[in-house]
Structure formats: structure tokens, C-alpha cells
Chains A and B, each alone.
Chain A
């Protein structure tokens, strides 16, 4: 009887060890004093602000340092028309980097618009989101930028994924695609 008890207790212990290793919980840490940061980590919860997170939006009207051009066109049909008519790219021909534009385009746009801009991206082929070909669209430098900045109808804004320079690079690349398509 006693030996049986011993065996059972060893078994329980072993099973206990194995079952503690559960992948939905983080592992134990040994003296984690220097593991957990004292400062805030990105996106951490925090009581310091009323909305409870560490990451805050910049205050209204703040402007980043460095080359920054304000974008004054509004997110309305009128703003769109105005940008379409008069907005020009601040990049001159030496600053346009189509390589970079292509890279950014293929990350952010090709999934819907397709690598050639003919509207045959992966999602369009599955008829989940159908943007149509650039060739059939009446677009200008200004309207493309406005579309990336604010989005248009069912297309969302890409202003938070691309910075200003990258946006203009993508605009140049889209214009190239349209030119290739309508050639």
C-alpha cells in the first residue's frame, strides 16, 4: 500500500509538471526584476492618461519637424475636385524613385488594384473588393494624392501607413502604371 502511494504521488507530480506547461500562458520567469520595464512600452496600458493607454495622438494642430508640407484640401467632394484640378507633386524628376514607389505600391495597393493597376489584385480576383482598372478612371496627380490621403468611397485612407514622401512616390508610380495601361 505504501509503495503504491509513493508511485501515485510521483505520478501526480510528473503530470503536474507536464500540465503546467500550457501554451496559452506565458512561462515562469526567474527573478524578473530586470525583465519588466520601468518606463512605458509601446501601446502599454497606463493610468497617466484619461483613455487608459500610453500611446497618444499628437495634440490638435501639431506639425512634425523636418520637411513638412501642410495638406489643406478637405475630405469632401469639393476638396477632391480642387486637388484634382490644381495639386501638383512637390517632387521633381530627380527625386522620383520609381523603385521605391513600386515597392510601396506592391505592399499597400497591389492587393486590390493588382501589380499592373488593372484592378486584378488577389482580393479583386475573388470578387471581395473590386476597385476597377486605373485605365478607366479619370485621375490626375492631385486626385491620386487626395485618394491616398483620405480614401474615396469604399477605399480607405493610407495616410497612416505611408509618409508624405512615400505617398508622392506611390502617386508617381500609379501615374506610370496608368500610362502603361493606356498605351
Chain B
């Protein structure tokens, strides 16, 4: 046994010695092959730096391309693989395309012309300044796998609902508990009474004059309370009638759940971006939908975190953006031409006999929107913050000083009026902001 084993060993060694020359040469060959392979792989994508690629992509390409969605240009996730597999195009072609696509199109390249026509002959910017390394960085970034959608969102969504139910449950349990306690007390009293009866004790109280009877018989007290009640009801009736016609807090449900909190608050969009006529006219106006599409051509879906916030308010933000798309007739890449007007419900509305002008207050006086409309940038659903009564207007005119800086148009009258009233700073009231005809005509 042992012998054969040894011989086998010997044999093996012997063989090795013999073949050693051949193995060296083949090793060299395969090393060379491997070197070649690594090199060619590095040419393909591997050594591109996806981090730098992301910066370059955002600086140069993101205006027109997204990774996972067609925009001005096609989506670019895994383009290199896609083009290689489907069209047999190599890095050479990509370099040429990215550096100067129009030259490639003019040269009659078949695929270049095909995409160009498929994208309505939109010209892609030429990037002659990008080096080979830059381009492989960008392609490395586009070759990264798509990040999985974060899972925990479902948990976040479920939580508030659970909390709501939990609170209700606790309240319900408390109510039942109190009910039981009350019942128990009544039962205890009954049984005690029965015991007393059984023992022959007299539990009925001594007949005293009930307190309310004493009260009714005291005429002075009656008079005072009557007056008190009259005054109180007068007060409440007055309050009730005074708020007739005042819509403070009015908060209608709009056809599209459009949130000022998200737009003006979280994303800090200037009020006048949308309400652009506030600068120049009586009305602030509601933006026409093309203004919305300036951004929403690119923003078709909200981020995961925003979506989760929406669940707390009980709205699906993505569905709301879809409503906007239906109204303007946008199918994700082009306008279909089928539009439906959005019937926004008007909130602030002065009666016809009063005149209010935004440009006078916003541009001339320089009053912030929030002074009159409240913390709009925190409102998920817009409501009327101010009462919009005459008293409200007049009060502010009495208190607010006129913005005289850089106002040459009014310079002379400002000076004369200041002299007349003997004050340094004029209020709007002293300018004539209390004259009936300024607001009623």
C-alpha cells in the first residue's frame, strides 16, 4: 500500500519537473492575457470613479437626462451596456457622441440619426471639454445599480393611523370605566338604602327648603341674574351677528390638493413666482398651469419622505400631481392638447363695494404677504387668516408708516404732509388712507 502511494508521489514530482518548462511559458501567456483583460475591462467601465462621475453628470448632463426617467433626453441608467447589447456600439461611439453628437449625426452614423429623430431632433449639447477619464467616470456613475426603494416607509405610514386608533381606544376604555364606576356607586347606594330600610332606619332627609326655591323667592337675586342673562345673551347675539359675512378661517377643499407648506415653505419658492401679478396689479392672481409645469415637467413624483408626510394628511401627493398632468394634458413627454380647466375655489373675497389693490400694498408700501395672509408657508391647506373687515384695514392704516424711501413719485407730498401734521414719519392714515372714497367708490 505504502509503496504504491510513495511511487505515486514520486511520479507526480517527476512529472512536475518535466513539465515545468511548458508551464512557465503558458503561465506567461495567461499572465499577459490577464493583463490584457484587466486593461480592457478598465477601458470598459470598471476604473471610472462613480463619485466624480456623479458630480460631472449633475453639472453637465442632469439638465436633460435622468437616470431612470426620460426627460429632454433618454434615461441613462446602464446606457453603455444597453447600447453595447442592443446596438453593438462601443465606448468609441459613446465618446464621439458625447463630445459632439451633431458631428456624428452629420457623418451619417445610423444609430445617431435614429435616436436624434426619435427625440424630435433635439440637439444634445456638445462636450468637447470632457476627457476620456471624465466620460468613463460618468458612465461608471450611470452603471451603478438602482438603489432599492426604502422599505420602512410602510411602517412610517402605518404609525399615525395606529396612534389615532390607540388614542380612541384609550378614550373609549376610559369612558366605559367611568360608566362602570357610576353604576357601581348607584348600586352601592341602593344596597345601603335597602340595608337601612331593613334595619328600620329612616333615611329620608329632613325636609328643608330646596336652594333653588330660596333663590326664586329672593327677588333681588332674581333681578341680578335676569340682567346677567340678558347681557350675556345680548353679547353672544351681537357676536354672532357681527361674524355674519366674515370668512376668517374659511378653508375650502380645492380641486387639486396643492400645498403651500411644500412649495412656499419646504422648497422656499417665492410667493411672487406664482402670484406674479401681485407686483403690478390689483389682483395677486392664481398661477396658470404653465407656471406649475415649469417645475412639474421635471418633477413627476415626490420623494419618499414627502410622500410619507402626505400620508399623515391623508393625501397621495403623486395622485395630486397626476391631476395636474390630466388638467394640462401632459403625458410625461409631450402635451396632448387635451386640457381641462382647474376650478380653484376663491377664498379671500371682499364685497363688491370695497376696493383693494395688491400692488399698492406689496410694491409701493412693501408690506409682506404674511402680514395679511398669515403663515402661508406653513399651511398644508390654505385658509383665510385675517377677518378682512373694514376695521382691520383701518387699524393697519392707522399703525403702518408709509414707506417713503426711494419713492420719488410721492416725495413732495410726503414732505408737505409731514410738515402739516408735524411728524417725522407719516402713517397711511395721514396720507388719506381713512378717506371713504379711497376704498368705496
**Chain A residues packing against B (C-beta within 8 Å):** 23-30, 32, 34-38, 42-43, 45, 52-53, 77, 106-108, 111, 119, 122-123, 126-133, 136, 151, 153-158, 160-162
Give Cα A132–Cα B215 distance, bound, in whole angstroms: 83
Contacts of A35 in B (CB 8 A): 245, 351-353
Any chain A CB within 8 A of the CB of B283?
yes
Contacts of B290 in A (CB 8 A): 156-157, 160
Task: Tell whether, in the assembled complex, residue A130 and residue B58 are in contact, meaning their CB atoms are under 8 Å apart.
Answer: yes
Given contacts A34-B351, A42-B285, A156-B293, whether A111 and B245 have CB atoms under 8 Å apart is no
CB distance from A33 to the nearest CB of B (A): 9
Task: Tell whether, in the assembled complex, residue A119 and residue B59 are in contact, meaning their CB atoms are under 8 Å apart.
Answer: yes
Give Cα A173–Cα B194 distance, bound, in whole angstroms: 95
Contacts of B64 in A (CB 8 A): 153-154
Given contacts A111-B270, A119-B59, A130-B58, whether A26 and B250 have CB atoms under 8 Å apart is yes
Task: Tell whether, in the assembled complex, residue A111 and residue B60 are in contact, meaning their CB atoms are under 8 Å apart.
Answer: no
Any chain A CB within 8 A of the CB of B286?
yes
Q: Nearest chain-A residue to B271 (Cβ)?
A: A107
Any chain A CB within 8 A of the CB of B276?
yes
B: number of interface residues (CB 8 Å):
48
Binary contact readout B117-135 vs A (1 if CB under 8 angstroms, 0 otherwise): 0000111000000000000
Given contacts A42-B283, A154-B63, A161-B273, whether A30 and B244 have CB atoms under 8 Å apart is yes
**Chain B residues packing against A (C-beta within 8 Å):** 58-60, 62-64, 71-72, 121-123, 241, 243-247, 249-253, 267-270, 272-273, 276, 283, 285-286, 288, 290-291, 293-295, 297-299, 303, 341, 343, 351-353, 383
Give Cα A126–Cα B276 distance, bound, in whole angstroms: 24
Give Cα A80–Cα B22 distance, bound, in whole angstroms: 69
Give the A-B pair count, Cβ closer than 8 A.
Answer: 115
Task: Tell whether, in the assembled complex, residue B299 and residue A130 are in contact, meaning their CB atoms are under 8 Å apart.
Answer: no
Give Cα A141–Cα B402 distance, bound, in whole angstroms: 38
Contacts of B250 in A (CB 8 A): 23, 25-27
Q: Nearest chain-B residue to A80 (Cβ)?
A: B123
A-B contact pairs, 19 of them (CB 8 A): A27-B243, A27-B245, A27-B247, A28-B245, A32-B245, A34-B353, A35-B245, A35-B352, A45-B343, A107-B272, A107-B273, A122-B267, A123-B267, A128-B295, A129-B295, A153-B72, A154-B297, A156-B293, A160-B288
Task: Tell whether, in the assembled complex, residue B352 and residue A37 are in contact, meaning their CB atoms are under 8 Å apart.
Answer: yes
Contacts of B58 in A (CB 8 A): 127, 130
Give Cα A32–Cα B62 distance, bound, in whole angstroms: 55
Give Cα A128–Cα B383 distance, bound, in whole angstroms: 28
Contacts of B270 in A (CB 8 A): 106-108, 111
Task: Tell whether, in the assembled complex, residue B351 and residue A130 are in contact, meaning their CB atoms are under 8 Å apart.
Answer: no
Q: Nearest chain-A residue to B54 (Cβ)?
A: A127
Contacts of B244 in A (CB 8 A): 27-30
Task: Tell whether, in the assembled complex, residue B59 and residue A136 are in contact, meaning their CB atoms are under 8 Å apart.
Answer: yes
